[in-house]
Structure 1
Amino acid sequence: MRMLREIARTGSYSAAATNLGYTQPAISQQVKALERVYGTPLLVRLGRRMHFTEAGSELVRSAQVILAGVAAAEQRVDAIAGRRAGRVRLVVFPSGSATLVPPAAAQVRRDHPGIRMSLVEAEPPESIELVRSGECDLALTFAFLDEPNAAGLLQVRLFSDPLVVLLPSGHSLATAKTVSLADLSEEQWIAGCALCRGHLVRICQTVGFEPDISFATDDNLAVQALVAADLGVAVVPELLLTAALRPDIVARPVNPEMRREVFLYTWPDLMRVPSVRTTVDALRQVARSVSSR
């Protein structure tokens, strides 16, 4: 079931094998064995990607339900036992994994060494779907204007993260206390993830221009290097800069104000599980320290 779900998520045998720690032939053999059991093809190759047949898609949907039920059952057993042990599977956006997770994980390990934490990175809305499918227990995610569709999940708001503009240190606005977006209308731009790019475009349009996006990358160090090379300006969450800020660029507040909201999402029942609740508490404590700076 996990194998089918991973093939559906990645679109290939080789990627699924890498993520699950198997060889590609082992994955292929498992699929052939399933097809013999059900007497019908489950996957077909179209171009360079694997596509599920109607029967395969139905089996994947069932796999997601089954695996979510198994994960919830395992966690409920831990809750009944009242153990301060067990596993917690996190899915986190990249700047969160670099800034919020390390101190929270260190606190959990120090206070409850029996709790094992694992981490994968994903942006919303994929991160929320990983919780909904049972593949992860907690999603640390963010939103700009509209909150993500997370019906049925418990939302824990952590903090509001302001956005700042990054400029080369020699830029004419580098010494300004606040930088107006309108004053950057002729600049080239470096943008981040799809959600961040969409927000940037919407805000720029409200002040009367369409940003000329020359580069797009989720890598914070790459964004800063591109800005330092005078290849464009960027608007990034302030949280990113707590991990690293190059000495040859400057960060300035932006007008109009831009910010994102940072949330945790999980299933309500999982908050009764000591290991999950302990992890949530640790992340909330770290978030309070970040937002008070």
Structure 2
Amino acid sequence: MLELRHLRMLREIARTGSYSAAAANLGYTQPAISQQVKALERVYGTPLLVRLGRRMRFTEAGAELVRSAQVILAGVAAAEQRVDAIAGRRSGRVRLVVFPSGSATLVPPAAAQVRREHPGIRMSLVEAEPPESIELVRSGECDLALTFAFVDEPDAAGLLRVRLFTDPLVALLPSGHRLAEAESVSLTDLAEEQWIAGCAVCRGHLVRICQAAGFDPEITFATDDNLAVQALVAADLGVAVVPELMLTAAWRPDTVSRPVHPAMCREVFLYTWPDLMGVPTVRTTVSALRRVARTVGAR
């Protein structure tokens, strides 16, 4: 019989691509995961996974079970939260997924507010950039995604989006750069520079805005690590365009930031399932994050 533990196991194998990683994340041994898969294959009379090199690939039957698992587990999570809402609980767990600079700047004061006002609420936190963060909410693995989008990107269909604030983009330069004393810089001023790019979403946006300005950026380094971006710029290995929030989280004095013209920005949002906004623990967490975001947006 197919059980929730089987669905969670299949979802984790699909997410990680291996038995061993799925076992580590779920608290099982690798042989236990393998045995459960074999037991399901005996029940259904067909292979669910095949090995390709070091990774596992789902067969058509296995892929169908994974798709069903994501829908069912999301429904179970929402149902559990709705029961809590009916009971009026102000305790329980809220699972957050947050982009790195958001976890360093927005989450700590919001979590502190929640703990002071509702000590029964527990938060868990994982870091991920969009679109992965949004998919973690869609699959039911997280309740709230604190994420961002550039103005030319679409909404996540079906999810509730709560706008928090606008985060301006600034040029990040080495302290000895020829434009370090300029009041502002344009992208065309930097057309001949080498570039340090951020996460995949930020990297794609950088390419688009530079192409709109008439040039293709020469990206020499790309990293998801905000501190690494700053270190590479400080070492005079390139320039970058970064969100102001990133510099609020950590700023190196051997770099300088300058406004970019024309002005560019990204929008910071919360995503969740609409039903979950009726859950007191989720609603309380959203309220705390919105209060913190108002102070950031008023800078």
Q: Which residue of 2 aligns with 1:260?
A: 266
CA contact (8 A) 1:98 1:243 kept: yes
How many residue pairs were aligned? 293
Matched, 1:105 2:111: yes
Counterpart residue type for residue 53 of structure 2: G
SS state of the match for residue 50, structure 2? strand
Matched, 1:23 2:34: no
User: Where in structure 2 are there 5+ consecutive unaligned residues?
Assistant: 1-6
Partner of residue 151 from structure 2, selected from 145, 151, 154: 145
Counterpart residue type for residue 106 of structure 1: A
Output the CA distance in 2 between the equivalents of 1:147 and 1:79: 33
Alignment of 1:239-250 (within 5 A): 239-250=245-256
Which deviations, in whole Å up to 9, do the C-alpha atoms of 1:107-151 show, x marking residues without a partner?
111211111111122221222121112111111111113344422
Matched, 1:154 2:170: no
**1:25 positional shift:** 2.2
Matched, 1:3 2:9: yes
Q: Which residue of 2 aligns with 1:284?
A: 290
Matched, 1:129 2:138: no
**1:48 positional shift:** 2.2
Output the CA distance in 1 between the equivalents of 2:267 and 2:193: 27
Counterpart residue type for residue 234 of structure 1: A
Task: Name the stretch that deviates more: 54-63 or 146-155.
Answer: 146-155
Q: Which residue of 1 aligns with 2:183?
A: 177
Which deviations, in whole Å up to 9, do the C-alpha atoms of 1:163-184 show, x marking residues without a partner?
1111111111111110111111
CA contact (8 A) 1:125 1:148 kept: no
Output the CA distance in 2 between the equivalents of 1:22 and 1:141: 31
Output the CA distance in 1 between the equivalents of 2:225 and 2:275: 35
Partner of residue 57 from structure 2, selected from 40, 51, 56: 51
Counterpart residue type for residue 252 of structure 2: R
Matched, 1:223 2:233: no
Output the CA distance in 2 between the equivalents of 1:107 and 1:21: 32
Q: Which residue of 2 aligns with 1:35?
A: 41
Output the CA distance in 2 between the equivalents of 1:63 and 1:100: 32
User: Where in structure 1 are there 5+ consecutive unaligned residues?
Assistant: none
**1:24 positional shift:** 2.1
Coordinate RMSD, CA, aligned: 1.2
**1:21 positional shift:** 2.7
Q: Which residue of 2 aligns with 1:213?
A: 219
Which deviations, in whole Å up to 9, do the C-alpha atoms of 1:230-268 show, x marking residues without a partner?
100111110011111011111111122110001111111
**1:33 positional shift:** 2.0
Change (3 A) 1:119 1:148: farther
SS state of the match for residue 283, structure 1? helix
Change (3 A) 1:61 1:152: same
Report sequence identity in percent. Answer: 87
Output the CA distance in 2 between the equivalents of 1:207 and 1:79: 50
Normalising by the residue count of structure 2, what TM-score does the alignment of the two structures yield? 0.95
Partner of residue 281 from structure 2, selected from 272, 275, 278: 275
**1:37 positional shift:** 2.1
Counterpart residue type for residue 176 of structure 1: A
Output the CA distance in 1 between the equivalents of 2:79 and 2:266: 34
Counterpart residue type for residue 30 of structure 2: Q
Counterpart residue type for residue 227 of structure 2: L
Output the CA distance in 1 between the equivalents of 2:201 and 2:211: 16
SS state of the match for residue 150, structure 1? coil
Output the CA distance in 1 between the equivalents of 2:273 and 2:154: 15
Output the CA distance in 1 between the equivalents of 2:148 and 2:287: 18
SS state of the match for residue 255, structure 1? coil
Which deviations, in whole Å up to 9, do the C-alpha atoms of 1:12-49 show, x marking residues without a partner?
11222222233222222221222222222111011221
